[in-house]
Every structure is written in C-alpha cells, then in structure tokens.
C-alpha cells in the first residue's frame, strides 16, 4: 500500500504542476487601435503556451549589415548598434512579445507576432537612427503650463482617471512643486494630465506609472494639448522603465526643442572603468566642427542636464554638464556598472554611425493561415489519437484502457512542459506532437508484450507484471534515447519552426517515459491489489 500511495502522490504532484503550468492567465497585449492608429493595451485570457509565428501569423526578418555600398569593417559592432536601435523602436511595432536578437555574430533576427504589414515593419527597422543631445527643461516651463493644459483638457471634456488626490504628487518627498498647490487651488479638481505625472529627480523629469503611460501618451499627442505646451519645449519618453519601491514608472522628459548637437558630429564613443575614481565612464569624441559648437553650447549650460535622445527616446538619465566640453568629453555614470556604460556608448555609436541594414530573409504568415494550421493540426491530432485509442483498446482490452489513460497524462505533461519552459509551439511542433502520440504508446506495447510472454512462460500474475516492466526497460530506454539524440541534433542546427518540432519531440519522449512506465505501472499495481484473486490478466 505504501508504494502505491507514494506513487499516487508523485503522480498527483506531476498533474497539479502540469495544470498549474497550463491554467489560462491574463496577458497584456499591445495592439494598434484601428480608429486612432495608436497603440493601446488590451488584456486577454489565454493558455500560456507560446505559439510560433507560423501558427499565430506574423513577420520574421533576418537582417545583416549592407555591404553593397562598401565594406563594413566591424560587422559585429554594427549589428549590436542596429539591435540597440531596433529595440528603441520596438514600441512602434505594437506587437506582443516581439523578438530582437543577434544570431551568430553578424545577423539580427526580428520577429513580430501578429504583424501583418511587412512593408511597415521593414520601414521602421531600416530607418536610419537619429541621435541628438538636448538640454532638459531647466526653467520648469512645462510644469508651469500644466495647469493650463489641465484646463484645456477639462474644457475638452476629458475626465481625470482614478482618484489621485491632486496634481504632481509628492512621490519622493522633497520637492513639493508649486504646480501641486496651483492646481489644487484650482477648482479642487485633479487635473486630467497633472494627476498622472509624478515629479522626477531633476528638472524636466516626470515619472508616469507604467500602466498609465498609454493614457498620458494619448493626452500629450492631442493637438489642443500640444498647443498649450510652451514654445521651445518638447516632451520625450524615456527608453527604459524605472522601478521605484516595487512599482514601475516610465520617465517623461520635457526637453528643449533645439538639439545642441546631433549624432552626425559624433565620431567615437567607448566605455571604460576609471582607475582613479572607480566610476563607469563613457568617452566620446566629436568632429572639429561639432566640437566648436558643443563648446559654445556647454559653456552656456553648465550645471544643466543634457538628455541623450535616440530616435525620440531619452536614453538613461540625463547627465549634468559640469564644465565646458569641446571635442572630447566624458559622461560619468557614477556607480553604475560597466555594462550600462557600454550600453550608453553603444547608443552613441548607433546614432553616430548608422549601420545600413539589408534583409536577407523574410517570412510573413497571415493570421488566417496560422489559424487554419492550428485547426488542421488539432483535427489530425484528434483523429490520430482516436486511431491509437482504437488499436490499443481493441488489442489489449483493459490494459489498453490503462495505456490510453496514460496517454491522457502524456498529453497533459507534454503541453505543460512546453508552457513551463517557455518553448514555442510551431506547426511542425504540432505535427511532432501528433507523431509522438503514436510513438508514446510504444513503451506500453513493449511492456504489455513482455507481460504476455512472461505469462506464457507460466509466471504468476504479479511476477509477470513485475518482470514484464523490468525486462522491457532496456528496450524502452534504448529506443527513446536514440530518438531523443537525433531530435537534440535537430534542435541544435534547426531554425524556428524546426526547432519547435525537435523540442516537442524531446519533451514528448520525456513525458512518455513518465506516463507509460510510471503511471501505467501504478495503475497495474492498484488493479492487482484490488483483485488479489484474479488469475488472468486482460492484456
């Protein structure tokens, strides 16, 4: 009894873990709002199995540095810069789980699930990067105009969201802004925009709760609001989110409209660790012309903050200008890691040396084709399972029922394995899954045949079952290992969909070992225990 209970508990744990991995959960998706053309978040409930591009539709692009107009000396660096740029633009795609990754040394892979317009995606990716340095809103001009903007919005009938007590709230204690008092005095109503902005640490910096940034973005894009923003000031979002006391915020910067210098003037940027101060530092070199211009500008802006903007996104927190800088300067990042310094240097280089990209591979699959594939695949799966079921029960009778029961566990475990390890289910993966159902019962067939043989040899029921399992083991392990080995190689060399096939096969093999051997043995043990007087086995 002890062993049976132990086995049942183990199976129970497996099943619970699998169900936990497969419970549908809420996923936030960014989709393009057809009416306004802007992005918005929607929440859907779905089973957490990642579907490949071939099943959900989307675009897969492989890009390389374009060398048709002259050789590019360091393609690895060029691709890293390009990756940084594409990452900065990722919001523009408006897809859930976009993938941007470097493959090998010199190739960039971009995957955009759900995207249907290859031309649009290509134009976003191939656009040349634009880098500029701008001084932040040192006079707090934007903040002063917030009250007016709130007024504009109120007149336009925009209601403030939530019950935030008042305008620019005191998130970090110290700076009680005068706007807070101003707008609080104004009609006691919280402002539609100001109630969503929290004062940042430096002039012109605001923090917006991550879940609200869509709203804020749509507000500041309104023509009437743009009119109310002081002349000479632009708003730019930060590229990275910030985490403050367990909440994520997206920084919004008010910066001067006029850049003090653009990426064209930049020639070099490298990250290093300063030996004396032990700070992370980014050194940069400007052209002669750029150096002259930068010298004049920085002389006027000492103690001001300078936002580094790539493709309209502020990169990192704007550093302070300590003294006049001409053609050689450095950005000190204090205690930040060298990694962050390298990242900033990469941003600067990305803006300075645009890497012309060329598409070497493009695949796009329409969403309806993907949906058809799923439908067909599932249909084939159901028919396949039904046939296997028929064969097994028809031939092995009650033992066949046990094997089919184990097959249910097998399906559950395999799908849970895909979900738990975050592997992607592709169309070939679906085929692999169907195929592996046929293969999965092999272990049971081997075992049952062995038990039959042992019975023919005149062994007692209990002994026949035990020996059947024991003797079949060798063959089962051998056969599974040989299939898993080839699947593993396929995984190593395969691309997207084929990798999905290999993964499904490998997980399927692991799951079938558990279900066909462990689960079926347990079922047999329970059966034998219930019927101690039984002399023949329905096998």
Could you tell me the two tokens for 440? 């999965």
Nearer to other proteins, 61 or 321 (CB): 61
Q: Please, which residue, 233 or 385, has the CB nearer to other proteins?
A: 385
Q: What is the DSSP letter of 516?
A: I
Which tokens in the block code for residue 369?
Answer: 């084709």
Quick one: 19 or 485, whose CB is closer to other proteins?
485
Distance of closest approach, residue 62 Cβ to other proteins, in angstroms: 7
Q: How far is the CB of 86 from other proteins (least distance, A)?
A: 18
The CA distance from 340 to 334, in Å, is: 11
Q: Strands 107-113 and 198-199: what pairing?
A: unpaired
- Calpha distance 515→437 (Å, rounded): 12
* Residue 108 C-beta: closest distance to other proteins, Å: 13
- Residue (312 or 367) nearer to other proteins, CB: 367
Q: Which tokens sit at 371? A: 């949906």
CB of 422 to other proteins, least distance (A): 21
Say if residues 465 and 451 touch (Cβ distance below 8 Å).
yes
HSE-CB of 539 using CA atoms within 13 angstroms: 25
What is the β-pairing status of strands 50-51 and 424-425? parallel
Nearest-approach distance from CB 358 to other proteins, in angstroms: 8
Cα torsion at 225, 228, 231, 233 (round to 10°)? Answer: -50
Cβ of residue 65: shortest distance to other proteins, in angstroms?
13
Q: Which is nearer to other proteins, 256 or 454 (CB)?
A: 454
Q: Give the DSSP letter of residue 136.
A: B
Cβ proximity to other proteins: between 154 and 471 the closer is 471
Q: Which is nearer to other proteins, 133 or 469 (CB)?
A: 469
How many Cβ atoms are within 10 Å of 171's Cβ, its own excluded? Answer: 18
Q: To the nearest whole angstrom, how small is the minimum distance from the Cβ of residue 117 to other proteins? A: 11
Distance CA 144, CA 9 (A): 66
Could you tell me the two tokens for 103? 């493959």
CB of residue 395 vs other proteins: minimum separation in angstroms?
5
Tell me how far, at minimum, the Cβ of 47 lies from other proteins, in Å: 21
Closer of 141 and 364 to other proteins (Cβ): 364
Per the document, the length of the chain is 539
Residue with tokens 């024991």, as numbered in its chain: 470
CB of 224 to other proteins, least distance (A): 37
- Output the CA–CA distances (angstroms, integers) from residue 18 to 202, 420, 421, 466, in the order listed: 48, 8, 11, 28
* DSSP state for residue 306 in the 8-state scheme: E
Q: Give the residue among 136, 100, 111, 139 at the shortest CA–CA distance from 54.
A: 111
Q: Which is nearer to other proteins, 177 or 480 (CB)?
A: 480
Percent helix, strand and coil across the chain, each to the nearest 5: 50, 20, 30
Specify the 3-state DSSP secondary structure of 410: helix
Closest CA to 278 of 358, 338, 199, 352: 338
Q: Please identify, using beta-carbon distances, which residue of 18 and 426 lies nearer to other proteins.
A: 426
């Amino acid at each position: 009894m002890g062993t049976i209970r132990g086995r049942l508990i183990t199976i129970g744990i497996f099943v619970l873990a699998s169900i936990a991995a497969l419970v549908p959960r809420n996923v936030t998706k960014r989709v393009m709002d057809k009416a306004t053309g802007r992005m918005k978040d929607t929440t859907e409930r779905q089973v957490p199995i990642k579907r490949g591009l071939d099943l959900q539709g989307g675009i897969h692009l492989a890009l390389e540095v374009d060398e048709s107009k002259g050789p590019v000396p360091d393609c690895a660096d060029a691709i890293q810069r390009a990756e940084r740029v594409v990452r900065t633009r990722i919001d523009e795609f408006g897809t859930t789980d976009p993938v941007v990754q470097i493959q090998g040394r010199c190739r960039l892979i971009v995957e955009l699930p759900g995207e249907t317009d290859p031309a649009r995606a290509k134009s976003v990716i191939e656009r040349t990067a634009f880098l500029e340095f701008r001084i932040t809103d040192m006079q707090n001009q934007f903040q002063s105009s917030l009250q007016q903007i709130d007024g504009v919005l109120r007149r336009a009938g925009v209601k403030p969201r939530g019950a935030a007590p008042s305008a620019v709230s005191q998130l970090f204690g110290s700076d009680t802004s005068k706007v807070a008092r101003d707008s609080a005095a104004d009609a006691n109503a919280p402002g539609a925009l100001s109630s969503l902005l929290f004062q940042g640490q430096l002039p012109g910096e605001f923090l917006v709760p991550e879940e609200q940034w869509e709203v804020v973005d749509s507000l500041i894009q309104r023509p009437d609001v743009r009119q109310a923003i002081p002349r000479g000031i632009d708003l730019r979002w930060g590229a990275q989110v910030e985490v403050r006391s367990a909440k994520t915020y997206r920084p919004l910067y008010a910066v001067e409209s006029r850049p003090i210098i653009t990426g064209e003037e930049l020639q070099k940027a490298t990250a290093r660790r300063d030996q004396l101060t032990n700070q992370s530092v980014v050194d940069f070199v400007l052209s002669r012309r750029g150096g002259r211009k930068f010298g004049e500008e920085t002389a006027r802006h000492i103690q001001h903050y300078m936002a580094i903007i790539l493709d309209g996104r502020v990169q990192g927190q704007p550093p302070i200008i300590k003294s006049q800088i001409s053609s050689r300067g450095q950005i000190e990042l204090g205690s930040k890691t060298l990694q962050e310094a390298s990242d900033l240097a990469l941003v600067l280089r990305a803006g300075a040396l645009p890497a012309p990209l060329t598409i070497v591979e493009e695949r796009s699959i329409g969403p309806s084709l993907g949906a058809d594939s799923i439908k067909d695949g599932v249909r084939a799966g159901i028919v396949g399972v039904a046939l296997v079921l028929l064969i097994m029960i028809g031939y092995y009778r009650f033992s066949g029922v046990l094997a089919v029961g184990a097959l249910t566990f097998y399906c559950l475990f395999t799908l849970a394995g895909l979900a738990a390890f975050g592997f992607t289910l592709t169309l070939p993966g679906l085929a692999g899954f169907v195929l592996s159902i046929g293969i999965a019962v092999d272990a049971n067939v081997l075992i049952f045949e062995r038990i039959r043989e042992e019975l023919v040899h005149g062994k007692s029921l209990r002994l026949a079952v035990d020996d059947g399992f024991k003797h079949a083991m060798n063959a089962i392990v051998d056969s599974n290992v040989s299939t898993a080995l080839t699947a593993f190689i396929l995984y190593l060399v395969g691309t997207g969909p084929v990798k999905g096939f290999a993964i499904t096969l490998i997980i399927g093999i692991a799951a079938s070992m558990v279900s066909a051997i462990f689960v079926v043995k347990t079922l047999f043990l329970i059966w034998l225990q219930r019927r101690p007087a039984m002399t023949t086995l329905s096998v």
